[in-house]
């Protein structure tokens, strides 16, 4: 049986707003990417030449910060939910947040190294697939499993069960789709620049929905 006690309002609302914040960050990423990279490349940043990347300058960095920020903000928020609400079986979520932070930092370092890369295009560099793998790892090793775990525990605790179960199920489907999309490109004949996943901001809607549910609910603490 789940034991409950109300968390202070600020503790209840802060992680909820962080989860909601991921969606506008994703939207900002799309806007900036369309206004910068999309003006120079037909499909992906793999087509950019070193000169084009240099021309983008700080905008190149901004695009990638906006890309990696939502999953990190989300996993930090989920870690706060797990810790402040003392949710059972979520002890690994703060660990996931730490792992995600390290992977995100490594991803940004790789993108910064693009300014000094050789070859005709960014996709020709060995750093390009490394960046893609690190980007995927942030989701696969941190944000996505943390979302599923916390959403399931919240649903089982009676917190907006319909919303939390829906978020858990959709996130799991999103996770499976990404794995099925990118694993063949990592280990098969396809290439990473040819792999096309789901729209990146889709998961932002899931996090925003979970944040909205948390904001409205008085969340149980502990089991």
- CA dist 53 and 12 (Å) reads 42
Which tens digit of pLDDT belongs to each residue from 31-52?
999 999 988 887 788 889 999 9
- Name the CA dihedral angle for 73, 74, 78, 83, rounded to a multiple of 10 degrees: 0
| Bigger pLDDT: 222 vs 166 | 166
* CA 173 and chain centroid, separation: 15
pLDDT of residue 89: 81
Q: When comparing pLDDT for 82 and 42, which is higher?
A: 82
176-214 pLDDT, tens digit per residue, is 999 888 887 776 655 665 666 778 789 999 999 999 998
Model confidence at 70, pLDDT cuts 50, 70, 90, reads very high
pLDDT of residue 2: 38
pLDDT-derived band at 223 (thresholds 50, 70, 90) equals: very low
Average pLDDT over residues 76-88: 84
Burial 98-118 (b: 16+ CB within 10 A, else e): ebbeebbeebbebbeebeebe
| Closest C-alpha to 20, from 204, 217, 150, 154 | 204
Retrieve residue 196's tokens: 């096309």
Q: Are 41 and 103 in contact (CB under 8 A)?
A: no
pLDDT beyond 80 at 219: no
Q: Does the pLDDT value for residue 167 go beyond 60? A: yes
The percent of residues above 70 in pLDDT, for the chain, comes to 86
Average pLDDT score over residue span 48-71: 94
Instruction: Check whether 220 has a pLDDT greater than 60.
Output: no
Q: Which pLDDT belongs to residue 190? A: 54
In whole angstroms, what is the distance from residue 75 CA to residue 152 CA? 15
Asked if residue 9 has pLDDT above 70, the reply is no
Give CA–CA dist 218/223, Å, rounded.
Answer: 15
Q: What is the pLDDT of residues 109-151, one digit of tens each?
A: 999 999 988 778 898 888 988 999 999 999 999 999 999 999 9
Q: Which of 121, 136, 111 is nearest to 198 (CA)?
A: 136
Average pLDDT, the chain: 86
* Mean pLDDT of the 51-63 span: 94
The answer to whether 215 touches 24, Cβ cutoff 8 Å, is no
């Amino acid at each position: 049986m789940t034991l409950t006690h109300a968390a202070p309002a600020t503790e209840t609302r802060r992680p909820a707003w962080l989860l909601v914040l991921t969606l506008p960050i994703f939207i900002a990423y799309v806007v900036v990417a369309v206004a910068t990279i999309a003006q120079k490349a037909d499909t992906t940043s793999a087509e950019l030449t070193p000169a084009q990347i240099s021309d983008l300058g700080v905008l190149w960095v901004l695009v990638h910060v906006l890309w990696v920020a939502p999953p990190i903000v989300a996993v930090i928020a989920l870690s706060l939910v797990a810790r402040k609400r003392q949710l059972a079986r979520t002890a690994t979520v703060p660990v996931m947040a730490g792992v995600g932070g390290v992977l995100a930092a490594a991803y940004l370092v790789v993108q910064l190294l693009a300014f000094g890369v050789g070859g005709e295009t960014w996709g020709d560099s060995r750093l390009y697939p490394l960046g893609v793998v690190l980007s995927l790892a942030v989701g696969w090793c941190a944000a996505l499993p943390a979302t599923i775990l916390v959403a399931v525990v919240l649903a089982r605790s009676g917190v907006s069960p319909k919303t939390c179960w829906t978020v858990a199920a959709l996130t799991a489907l999103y996770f499976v789709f990404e794995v099925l999309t990118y694993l063949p490109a990592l280990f098969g004949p396809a290439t990473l620049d040819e792999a096309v996943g789901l729209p990146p901001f889709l998961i932002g809607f899931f996090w925003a929905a979970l944040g909205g549910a948390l904001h409205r609910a008085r969340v149980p603490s502990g089991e």
